[in-house]
Amino acid sequence: MIQLQQLPPLSLYVHIPWCVRKCPYCDFNSHEARGEAPQQAYVQALIRDLEQALPQIWGRRIQTIFFGGGTPSLLEPALLDQLLAQFRALLPLALNAEVTLEANPGTVEASRFAEFKASGINRLSLGIQSFNDDSLQRIGRIHDAAQAKKAAEIALDTFDQVNLDLMYALPQQTLQAALADIRQAIALKPQHLSAYHLTLEPNTAFHHNPPPLPDDDTSATMQEAIEDMLAEAGYGHYETSAFALPGKQCRHNLNYWQFGDYLGIGAGAHSKLSFPDRILRQARFKHPATYMQSTETNTHIESERKLTRNDLGFEFMMNALRLTNGFPVALFQECTGLPISTLDKALRQAEAKGLLLRDHLTIAPTQMGQRFLNELLQMFLEPD
Ligand SMILES: C[S@@+](CC[C@H](N)C(=O)[O-])C[C@H]1O[C@@H](n2cnc3c(N)ncnc32)[C@H](O)[C@@H]1O
Ligand code: SF4
C-alpha cells in the first residue's frame, strides 16, 4: 500500500490509428486507411471513452493534450474541432494548456493547418524523418524532400511551437547525409527537434527484411556529431532524443518522463492514473474496430494493473533517467509515495559504476549513463 500526498499533473493522450501507408520500420498502432477510415464513428467512440473515464480523473485539470498516431493530421478539421469542443465541455483544461497534433508531411495543406489552429491546436509535430530523397524512399515514406521542407515552412508560418521528427542511422546513410539533414532542420528554425536512432522493431517489415544499415561505430559517431551540431545551434539536449530552444521543451512528453499521470483514449492507448492509495496502468483494445465497438458497452479497457512497489521504482527510473539533467530527489516520493531509500542499493551501485550522479537535491545520469541507459536501468529492476 502506498500513500500519495498529492496527485501529479495530468495529461490527455488521444490516439488516431490510421496512416496513408504503413512505413516499414514502424511498430506504432497504425493501420493503412484502405478506403475511407470511419472517422466520424471513431470520434464518437473517443467521446464515449472519455465520458466513461471521467470518474477516474474527477476534478483534475488537464495540463496538456497530445493527438498522436498514426497520422492525426488525416482527421477532418471539422471532426477535430468537434472533439476539442467536447473535451472543453467535459474537462477542466489549464488556461495555458499545450495542445499538440502529429502530422505527416504527405498530408499537409496550409488551409488544414489554419483550421487545426483555429480549433485550438497550438503545437505541431511533423514527421520529417529526412530531407534526402534517397533516404525517404529507402524508408518507404509517402513524401519527398521538397514536400518535407514545404510542410515544415507551412507549420512554422502557422504555429508558434513546431517540432520536427528526424531519424538517423537510416539505410545506406552516410555521416555527411545525416548531418545534412540536421543542418537543413536547423536552417528552418523550429522550436523543437527530435532525433531518433532508427531501430529495427519486431513485427515490422524492416525486421523481417533488414535493409543495409550503418555499423554501430558510424551511428555512434552520427549521434555525437548531431548532438554537437544542435548544441552549437542553441538547442538544449534535455532527453535521450529531444532537443529544444530555451523554454520550448515539450510539456506533454516532459510529464511522461517526470512520471506524471496521463489518460490515454483511443485504440491501444495506455494510461497511468494515480489515486491517493494506488497507481494504475491501463491499456485499451488495440484494433480500431474492436475498440470502437467495445466503447459502446464500456468494455474497451483490455487490461488494468496496479503497480507494485518494485514496478514503481523501475518505472519511475525508466522515465526520469531519460532526462539529461535528471530529476529532483523529492519528485520520487511525490510521484510514487515511496521513500528514495527504497532505491538505495541500486543508486549506490550505479554511482560506483559511474553511470549516475547524485547529491541531496538531484539525481542524474552521467554521460556514460545516458549512453548505456539500458545497463543503468537494469540495476533498478529488482531493488531491495
Ligand atoms: C507516430 S510517428 C509521428 C508522425 C507521423 N506518423 C509520421 O510518421 O509522419 C512518431 C515518430 O517516431 C519515430 N519513429 C517511428 N518508428 C521509429 C523507429 N523504428 N525507429 C526510430 N524512430 C521511429 C519517427 O520519427 C516518427 O515521426
Ligand atoms: S506515418 Fe508515422 S505512424 Fe504511420 S506508419 Fe509511418 S511512422 Fe508509423
Q: What is the pLDDT of residues 195-217, one digit of tens each?
A: 999 999 999 999 999 999 999 99
DSSP element (H, E) containing 89? helix 77-90
Measured at the alpha carbon of residue 140, what is the angle toward residues 135 and 145, in degrees to the nearest 5?
Answer: 45
Which atom of ligand 1 lies at the shortest distance from residue 71's CA? 6
Residue-level pLDDT at 108: 86
Query: CA 377, CA 7: separation in Å to the nearest integer?
Result: 25
Residues 235-247 have pLDDT tens digits of 999 999 999 999 9
Dist. CA 82 → ligand 1 center (Å) = 27
CB 307 within 8 A of CB 280: yes
Question: 198 CB less than 6 Å from ligand 1?
Answer: yes
Instruction: Judge whether residue 383 has pLDDT over 50.
Output: no
| Ligand 2 centroid from CA 167, angstroms | 13
Q: How many CB atoms lie within 10 A of CB 61?
A: 13
Cβ of residue 241 lying under 6 Å from some atom of ligand 1: no
CA 142 to ligand 2: nearest atom? 1
Q: Which residue has the cell 483494445?
A: 285
Per-residue pLDDT reduced to its tens digit, 41-68: 999 999 999 999 999 999 999 999 999 9
Nearest to 365 by CA among 380, 351, 379, 346: 351
Residue 87 grid cell: 473535451
- Establish whether residue 28 lines the binding site of ligand 1, counting it when its CB lies within 6 angstroms of any ligand atom: yes
User: What confidence tens digit (pLDDT) does each residue in 316-336 have?
Assistant: 999 999 999 999 999 999 999
For residue 1, pLDDT beyond 90: no
For 126, the 3-state DSSP assignment is strand
Q: Is the pLDDT of residue 37 over 90?
A: no
Ligand 2 atom with the smallest distance to the CA of 141 is 6
Q: Edge-to-edge strands of the sheet including 301-306? A: 236-239, 242-244, 192-197, 161-168, 123-129, 93-103, 62-69, 10-16, 261-265, 270-275, 278-284, 301-306
Pairing, β 161-168 against β 123-129:
parallel
- SS3 of residue 19 by DSSP: strand
pLDDT per residue as tens digits for the range 254-307: 999 999 999 999 999 999 999 999 999 999 999 999 999 999 999 999 999 999
The protein residue with its alpha carbon nearest to ligand 2, atom 6, reads 23
pLDDT at position 34? 79
Nearest CA to ligand 2 atom 3: 70
Euclidean distance between CA atoms 93 and 7, whole angstroms: 16
pLDDT at 15 over 90: yes
Q: Would you place residue 190 in the very low, low, confident or very high pLDDT band (cuts 50, 70, 90)?
A: very high
Instruction: Give mean pLDDT, residues 92-116.
Output: 95
Ligand 1, residues 75, 125, 128, 165: which to mutate, most atoms within 8 A of Cβ?
A: 165
255-283 residues labelled b (16+ CB within 10 A) or e (exposed): bbbbbbbbbbbbbbbebbbbeeeebebbe
For the chain, what percent of residues have pLDDT higher than 90?
96
Q: Does residue 384 have a pLDDT over 70?
A: no
Q: Is the CB of 26 under 6 A from ligand 2?
A: yes
This prediction has a pTM of 0.97
23 lines ligand 2 (CB under 6 A): yes
User: Is any ligand 2 atom within 6 A of the Cβ of residue 29?
Assistant: no
Beta-bridged to residue 357, according to DSSP, are: 364
At position 209, the amino acid (one-letter code) is N
| Ligand 1 atom index nearest CA of 104 | 9
Query: Residue 131 C-alpha to ligand 2 middle, in angstroms?
Result: 16
Query: Residue 67 pairs with which residues in a beta bridge?
Result: 14, 101
Considering every ligand atom, which ligand is closest to the CA of 141? 2
Residue type at 369 in one-letter notation? G
Tell me: pLDDT of 111 over 60.
yes
From the CA of 127, give the closest atom in ligand 1: 9
Within the chain, how many helices (H) and strands (E) appear?
15, 17
Share of the chain above pLDDT 70, in %: 99
Task: Tell the residue nearest (CA) to atom 1 of ligand 2.
Answer: 19
Query: Ligand 1: distance of its center to the CA of 269 in Å?
Result: 16
Mean model confidence pLDDT for the chain: 96
341 C-alpha to ligand 2 centroid (Å): 42
- Separation between Cα atoms, residue 241 and residue 323, nearest integer Å: 10
Compute the distance from residue 212 Cα to the ligand 2 centre, in Å.
21
Q: How far is CA 281 from CA 6, 233, 290, in A?
A: 18, 39, 20
